[in-house]
Chains A and B, each alone.
Chain A
């Protein structure tokens, strides 16, 4: 069965304190792994797609990486506006055209 596990569940960082969020996955053939950001009371907002192990994507202070078993979302020198829940999702090669989401990491960046 496809499974996505994100850790930690919650993370508090001081402004400027870099860290990484983890997304471990088990799927029957990975078609793609996706990162989304969700602010309170809002819908998820797309950040990145990663297709194969070794791939990296960057956007401002965020960098996503992918291995055969997990993905990391690295946050460099975070700012308070980076506070949000970060969701990881996978699409299985053999599955229907939908994304299977993890439960997210709630990031709080303290000024």
Chain B
């Protein structure tokens, strides 16, 4: 059983298109995240949801819109794709949103987005 699953694993698309990435976790966690990893392997938080509520929204262009229909799902929709959006996008989940944190994020395998 995959704990955090993302689809699709690969996306190749043209500039200006819109695309979505879906994420599901079966760990029963309350908190889910989207991270972006660039070509230099730098992993940066984009969004975090706790029980369907947005709790972190880093400085990300508003072309990126997360949606959490329930606490097990967090999707990412990207409008008007640009070349600089090319990266690997990771979904993650954790058990605790605040208070003592174990630092244990469970990551999906990533979705590699290539914008041509």
Most chain B beta-carbon neighbours within 10 Å: one of A44, A91, A96, A97: A97
**Does B55 sit at the interface, judged by CB under 8 A?**
yes
A residues sitting closer than 8 Å to B (CB atoms) are 31-34, 38, 41-46, 49, 85, 87, 89, 91, 96-101, 103-104
Whole-angstrom distance between the alpha carbons of A75 and B21 in the complex?
36
Chain A interface main SS type: strand
**Does B12 sit at the interface, judged by CB under 8 A?**
no
Contact of B103 among A34, A41, A96 (CB under 8 A): A34
- Chain B interface size, as a band, is 20 to 34
Using known A-B contacts A42-B110, A43-B4, determine if residue A99 contacts B56 with beta carbons closer than 8 Å: no
The answer to whether B107 touches A43, judged by C-beta atoms less than 8 angstroms apart, is yes
Whole-angstrom distance between the alpha carbons of A38 and B108 in the complex?
11
Whole-angstrom distance between the alpha carbons of A45 and B105 in the complex?
8
The answer to whether A99 touches B42, judged by C-beta atoms less than 8 angstroms apart, is no
Interface CB pairs A-B, < 8 A, 14: A32-B101, A41-B109, A43-B4, A43-B107, A44-B43, A44-B90, A44-B107, A49-B102, A49-B103, A87-B41, A97-B55, A98-B48, A99-B103, A103-B42
